Amino acid sequence: MLDVYIKVQNLSFSRGDRVIYEDVSLTIPRGKITAVMGPSGTGKTTLLRLIAAQLSPDGGEIQVDGQNVHTLSRSALYKVREKIGMLFQSGALFSDMTVFENVAFPLEEHTTLNANEIKKIVLEKLHSVGLRGAAALKPSELSGGMARRVALARAIALDPELVMFDEPFTGQDPISKGVLVELIRKLNAADAITSVLVSHDVEESLSIADHVCILAGGRVIAEGTPDQIRRSENAQVKQFLHGEPDGPVPFHYPEDLGLEQGGVSQ
Amino acid sequence: MKGLISLGAWFFDWLEAIGRAGIFLFQSLFRLPVRWGEAVNLLVRQLYSVGVLSLVIIIVSGTFIGMVLSLQGYSILAKFGSEDSVGQLLALSLLRELGPVVTALLFAGRAGSSLTAEIGLMKATEQLSSYEMMGVDPLRRVIAPRFIAGVICLPLLSMVFSAAGIIGGVLVSVGWLGVSDGSFWSLMQQSVYFDTDILNGLIKALVFAVAITWISVYQGYECVPTSEGIGKATTRTVVLGSLAVLALDFVLTAAMFGDF
Amino acid sequence: MRSKRAELLVGCFIVLGLAAFVYLAVQVSGLGFSSQKDTYQIVARFDDIGGLSERAKVTIAGVTVGSVDSISYDKDLYMAKVTMNIESDVKNIPDDSSIAILTSGLLGEKYLGISIGAEDRMLQNGDEIHDTQSALVLENLISQFLFNKTSGSDK
Ligand SMILES: Nc1ncnc2c1ncn2[C@@H]1O[C@H](COP(=O)(O)OP(=O)(O)OP(=O)(O)O)[C@@H](O)[C@H]1O
Ligand SMILES: [Mg+2]
C-alpha cells in the first residue's frame, strides 16, 4: 500500500448554510504528485486551506504526516507549516517587498543562513522559474503569470516536504507552462517532495500526477492513478475529463430558492 | 418588547466586538518578535509612513490654527483692553485642546485610513494568509509595528502641532498685530503649567493614539476582503476614530480640568 | 539605500517632536532649568486673596523677584496663608515691609507686590510679613461706591 502523507477522514465543512464537504475521505501519498481536480467553486482551495489548518473542519479530521493539524497548539502548527509551501491562487506576494525579498522572506524567517547563502538560494529558485532577471522588481510591476511564478519560487524556497499548488498553470503561456510542469516533476524526482496540485488543466495534470482525486458536489467522485481515471466508466468523471456541458456534474452554482420565491411573491 | 430584545442583541454583539478587538490587540502586542533587528526595521518603516508623511499636514494646519486663534483672540480681548493675554489664550487652547484633538482628527483621516486600507488590501490579496501559511504570525509581523508606530507618532505630532501653532500665533500677534513681545511671553508663561497643561495634553494625545490606531488596524484586519468592504472599513475608521477622539476628549477634560 | 533615507527622516521626525516638546516646556510654560535658582520662603496671611493663584509672580518695585509657592487656608485664623519663594539674591527685605495683592489691568492676572519698610532686621527663610493688604474685589468696590453715593445724597 502507498505510504500516506495526508489523510483526510470523514471531513465535513460548510460556509454558512452552504455545505462544501460532507463526509469526504481521501489520501495523499508521500513523495508523489497528487492532482486535485473539480469544477470551479467545489472547494479545492478550501481543501488546501483545511489541510494547512487555516480553516477548521466542522467534523472529521485531517492528518498531515501523522499529526492531526487541527488539534495542535499554535506554535506546533506553525512548526508544521514551516514544512509546507503553498502557492496561492492569487499569488499573494508581499506588495511591500521586491521579488527578491519575497523569495528570501521564508529563508530569513526560518533559517539561520547568512545573507550570501540566502542570495544564492533565492537567485537559484528564481532562475528555476525563469525570473532571475526580475529580482529587483516590485510585485506591482509583474504580470499575473510572472507573479504566480515568483510565488512558486517562494513556496519552494525552504525546500518544503509538502508543496500545495493552487492552479499554477493559469495565465501561463505554453512555454512557461511547460517549464512549470518540468519544474514540478523535477522537484518530486529529486527531493521526494509531496505535491498537491490543484488544476483545471486535465491533460497537464494527468500527465504529471501519480495520483488523482476528482471532487464534485462536496464529495470525491473518483480517486486513483491517472490511468484508472482515464479508463473510468463513471459518467461524472467522463463528463469532467471531456468538458461536456451537459451531464451529471452540475455546472451551475446551486440556486438560492429563497430568492426566487421572494421574487415570485412580490 | 421586540425593540428591547433587538437592543439587547445589539448590545451583546457590541460587547462581543469589543472583546474580539481587545483579544486582537493583546495578541498582536504580546507575541514578541523572534528577530529584533527585523522588528526594528519594520517599526522604522511604519514610523516613516505614519509619522514622517503626516508631518507636513500637521505643521501647516498647526501654523494656520495658531494664526487664526491669535486673530480671533486678539479682536475679542482688545474689547476688554487685555490684548496682551492673547499669548495665554493661544497657549492654553492649543496645549489643552486643539493640539491633541485636531492632531488626532487629522491623524485619523491621514494615517488611520491608510492603515486600514493597507491592511484590508493585504487581507484581500491573501498576503495575511500567506504569512500564516509560512508560519509567520501576521499579528506580530503586520499589526504590531503599525500599532506601535501610531502610538509613538501621535503624541510627537501633537507636540509639533502645538509648537507650530504657537509660532504661527507669535507671528500674527507680535509680528503683525503689535502685541508687546515681553508681555506676550510672560503672561503666557505665567498661566501655562508644565504638568497640568503640557503633560495633560500629552496624555490626551497618547490616549487618542491608542484609540485611533487600534480602530484602524482592527478595521483593516476584520474587513470584508473586497474593494467595497475595504472602502467601508476605511470610512468606519475615520468616523469611529473621530467620534472616539471627541468622546474621550470630553471624558479626559472632565477628569483633568473638571475640578475648578 | 532607500531604507537608510527612511531611517534618517524618522530620526529627524523624532528629534523634531522632542524639540517641540522641549520648546513648549521651556518657552511656553516657562519651565526653566535656570529658574531653579536658590530661593528662600516667606509667608503672608491675607483676609481675602480674591483669585490669586499659585505661581503668580511676586514683585518689588514692579520687578519680579519670586513666585507664589502654595496657598492654603489657615483655619485657626480664618485667613488665607500664602507661601512664596523669593530669589536668594533679594535677601534685604525689611521685617516691616508690607505686601498687597495687585491686579495687572482691570481684569488681568493677580500678583503680589511688596512695599519696602524701614526696619534694619531683614526677613529670613520662613519669616512672615504681617502687614498685608487683601485683594480689591470688584464687587465690593462697586457696592461700596453705590453705598457711598446713596448715603451722600441722603445728607
Ligand atoms: N470567505 C468565504 N465566505 C463564504 N463562502 C466562501 C468563502 N470562500 C469561498 N466560499 C465558497 O466556498 C466554495 C468553495 O470555494 P473554493 O475557493 O474552495 O473553490 P475552488 O474549488 O477553489 O474554485 P476555483 O477553481 O474557482 O478556484 C465556493 O462556492 C465559494 O462560494
Ligand atoms: Mg480555488
Sequence spans of domains, chain C: 1-35, 39-137
Q: Tell me the C-alpha distance between B96 and B111, whole Å.
A: 22
Tell me which of A257-261, B30-34, B174-178 is least confident: A257-261
**pLDDT at position C33:** 52
Q: Does the CB of A29 have a partner CB in chain B at under 8 Å? A: no
Identify the H or E element spanning B2: helix B2-29
Average pLDDT over residues B166-170: 94
**pLDDT at position C1:** 43
Does residue A264 carry a pLDDT above 80? no
Distance from the alpha carbon of residue B40 to the mean position of ligand 1, in angstroms? 38
Q: Strand A59-64: give its sheet, edge to edge.
A: A18-29, A4-15, A59-64, A67-68
**pLDDT at position B16:** 87
A266 band by pLDDT with thresholds 50, 70 and 90: very low
C153 band by pLDDT with thresholds 50, 70 and 90: low
C35 band by pLDDT with thresholds 50, 70 and 90: low
C107 band by pLDDT with thresholds 50, 70 and 90: low
Does residue B220 carry a pLDDT above 50? yes
Q: Tell me the C-alpha distance between B99 and B206, whole Å.
A: 12
- Residues in C closer than 8 angstroms to B55, CB to CB, are 13, 16
Domains of chain A: 4-91+164-242 (3.40.50.300)
Q: Does the CB of A88 have a partner CB in chain B at under 8 Å? A: yes
Mean pLDDT of all residues in chain A? 83
**pLDDT at position B74:** 92
ipTM: 0.84
Exposed / middle / buried, residue A238 (Cβ in 10 Å: 0-12, 13-18, 19+): middle
With pLDDT > 70 as the criterion, what percentage of chain A qualifies? 90
**pLDDT at position B170:** 93
Q: Is residue B144 part of a domain?
A: yes
- Pocket probe mutation, ligand 1, options A45, A51, A249, A253, max atoms within 8 Å of Cβ: A45
Q: Is residue B75 part of a domain?
A: yes
Residue C138 Cα to chain centre, angstroms: 20
- Total structural domains in chain B? 1
Average pLDDT over residues B208-226: 94
Q: Tell me the C-alpha distance between A112 and A158, whole Å.
A: 12
The atom of ligand 1 lying closest to the CA of B225 is 1
Q: Is residue B209 part of a domain?
A: yes
**pLDDT at position A255:** 63
Q: Can you give the pTM of this predicted structure?
A: 0.81
**pLDDT at position C155:** 46
| B133 to A110: CB separation less than 8 angstroms, yes or no | no
Q: Is residue B225 part of a domain?
A: yes
Nearest to B126 among A78, A92, A109 (CB): A92
CATH 2.40.30 fits C39-137, yes or no: yes
Nearest Cα to Cα of residue A160 among B246, B17, B134, B112: B134
Average pLDDT over residues B203-215: 95
Q: Is residue B133 part of a domain?
A: yes
Nearest to C29 among B41, B84, B192 (CB): B192
Chain A residue with minimum CA distance to B124: A92
**pLDDT at position A90:** 81
Q: Could you identify the residue written with the cell 502586542?
A: B29
Q: Tell me the C-alpha distance between A11 and A7, whole Å.
A: 10
Instruction: Give Cα separations from A240 to A40, A196, A233, B170 (angstroms).
Output: 11, 19, 12, 79
| B136 to A109: CB separation less than 8 angstroms, yes or no | yes
| B38 to A84: CB separation less than 8 angstroms, yes or no | no
Instruction: Identify the residue whose C-alpha is closest to ligand 1 atom 25.
Output: A40
Q: Provide the domain limits for residue B115.
A: 31-257
Q: Tell me the C-alpha distance between A122 and A65, whole Å.
A: 27
Does residue B120 carry a pLDDT above 60? yes
With pLDDT > 90 as the criterion, what percentage of chain A qualifies? 9
Average pLDDT over residues A59-72: 87
**pLDDT at position B234:** 96
